[in-house]
Chains A and B, each alone.
Chain A
Amino acid sequence: MSVVMPQPDAAVLARRESIVAALSAIVPGEGVIASERAMRPYESDGLTAYRALPMVVLLPETTEQVSRVLAYCHREGVKVVPRGAGTSLSGGALPLTDGVLLGMAKFNRIREIDFDNRVVVAEPGVTNLAVTQAVEHAGFYYAPDPSSQIACTIGGNVAENSGGVHCLKYGMTTNNVLGCELVLMTGEIVRIGGKHLDAGGYDLLGIITGSEGLLGVVTEITVRILKKPETARAVLVGFNRSEDAGDCVSRIIGAGIIPGGMEMMDRPAIRATEEFVHAGYPLDVEALLIVELDGPQAEVDHLIARVEAIARDCQAVTCKVSSSEQERLLFWAGRKAAFPAVGRISPDYYCMDGTIPRAKLPLVLKRIRELSEHYGLRVANVFHAGDGNLHPLILYDANKPGELDKTEEFGSEILKLCVDVGGVLTGEHGVGVEKRDLMPAMFSETDLAHQQRLKCAFDEKGLLNPGKVFPKLHRCAELGRMHVHAGRVAFPDIPRF
Chain B
Amino acid sequence: MTVSRSRSSSVTGVSHQLRLVARLDRVRLPLWVLGLGGTIAVSALAVPPLYDTPEKVAGYARVVGTSPVSHLMSGRQAGIDSLGGIVANEISQFAQLGVCLMVAFLVVRHTRAEEESGRAELLRSTVLGRHAATVAGLAYGVLAAVLIAAVTTVSMLSVGLPVAGSLTYGAGLALLGVVHTAVTLVAVQLSSTARGALGLAGAVIALGYVVRGVGAVQDNALVWASPFGWAQRMDAFGGEQWWPALLLLAATALLLAASGWLMTRRDFGGGVLAARPGRPTARRGLATPFGLSARLRRGTALGWAVGLTLLGALYGAVVPSIPELVESNPEMADVVGAAAGGEALVDAFLAYIFLFMAVVSCGFAVSAVLRLRAEEEAGRAELVLGTPVRRSAWLGATAAFTFLVTAVLTVLMGAGLAVGYALGSGDWEHLTGHVGGQVAYLPGTLVVGAVAVALHGAVPRAGALAWALLAYVAVQVMLGELLGLPDWAEAVSPYSHLAEVPRESWEAWPSLALVVVAAALTAAGIAGFRRRDIASG
Chain A partners chain B: no
Binding site for B on A (CB under 8 A): none
Binding site for A on B (CB under 8 A): none
